Amino acid sequence: MSDHGFAFLDGDAKKEIRRALLKAVALPGYIVPFASREMPVARGWGTGGLQITLSIILEQDVLKVIDQGCDGSVNAINIRNFITSVTKVMTTSKTSRASIIQTRHRIPEHELRENQVLVFQVPYPEVLTTVEPDTAQQKQMHADGDYSKLWVLLYEDTSQYGDSRISNRYPVQVNNHFVMDPSPIPKYDIPRMDNCPALQLFGAGREKRMYAIPPYTTVKPLKFDDREFKIEVFPGVCCERCGARDVFFDEVRLGSDRRYFCSDTEFCDKNMEKNDAA
């Protein structure tokens, strides 16, 4: 097998993960179990995303790894270094040039295109855990499309606080059937999952679960017909570094001072280049 020795995982492990991926893609939003392997990283540190990336990556792929939008954070660098050490693939920070983007907690600002794969690291794959602890019952609810308990959470937030209090991991309905946890991305990123040209894969190594959203699939946040889905807005704020507006910002507090920077560092860099050229 040509796979042998490439990308850390053995051939059988890759085969098993790819099979699970095929099933996940065939049933958008459906949670598929897989035999999560021991990785040289502790579980809970991106092992789900890592295993998916390693099982689909080819020599010609170009890899980008981000953590909360940042290519330079310690975790992103370590994962990127590990993958290149076992594959020798090219890496990039440019979203447009990458063929596989492994991410934690963000979707890059730059629009994704066809033939790109976005691999999410997922801590809690089962969206129903908060309302139904019984796993057998959860499966039944998914099968029946019975998400009324999630709707009740939304109802209670709306009646007691005026709107949903969920800031990240906002439940989304995929392909008008399964409701899934989009991983801890901000609400800002939710509309960008809808009808996305790229393939979106989700891996939870500790929980041994994965799921997927095929390209161009309907993804809708759970919301009442007579209520708006509100994403985070930063009125009057622009990035201190590149001057961008209407993007997702990191808030940095220095004493009583609040300062804002683009959360997506690559987007910020690119913007700076554009500014310099102009």
Partner 1 sequence: MLLDVRNVSKIYGTSCDQCLSLTGVEHDRAICPECGSVVAVNSISLSARKNEILGIVGESGSGKSTLLQLIYQDIRASSGEIFFQGVTDKNGQPSNILHEPPSAVSRLRSKEMSMIYQNPRLGLNFLFSAGGNIAERIIGAGERRYDEIRSNALDYIRRIEMETSRIDDYPEEFSGGQQQRIQIAKALSSSPQLLLLDEPTTGLDVSVQAKILDLIKELQQDMGFSMIIVSHDLGVINHLTDITVVMKHGTLVEYGLTDQILEDPQHPYTQLLVSSIL
Residues contributing to the site for partner 1 (CB under 8 A)? 131, 140, 143-146, 148-149, 151-152, 155-156, 158-160, 224-227
- CA distances in angstroms from 128 to 36, 109, 141, 153, 211, listed in the order given: 21, 29, 9, 11, 15
Closest to partner 1 by CB, 38 or 228: 228
Amino acid present at 7? A
Closest to partner 1 by CB, 124 or 151: 151
Closest to partner 1 by CB, 112 or 141: 141
Strands 172-174 and 117-121, bridge-based pairing = unpaired
Distance in Å, CB of 37 to partner 1, minimum: 34
Query: What is the C-alpha to C-alpha distance for residues 165 and 148, in angstroms, rounded to an integer?
Result: 17
Closest to partner 1 by CB, 161 or 253: 161
DSSP 154-206: HHHHHHHHSS----BS--EEETTS-EE---S-BGGGGGGGTT-SSEEEEEETT
Distance in Å, CB of 218 to partner 1, minimum: 16
Distance in Å, CB of 230 to partner 1, minimum: 14
Distance in Å, CB of 27 to partner 1, minimum: 16
What letter would DSSP give residue 231? P
Place of tokens 């949903």: 164
User: Which has the closest alpha carbon to 190: 148, 230, 130, 147?
Assistant: 230
Residues known to be catalytic = 29, 238, 242, 262, 268
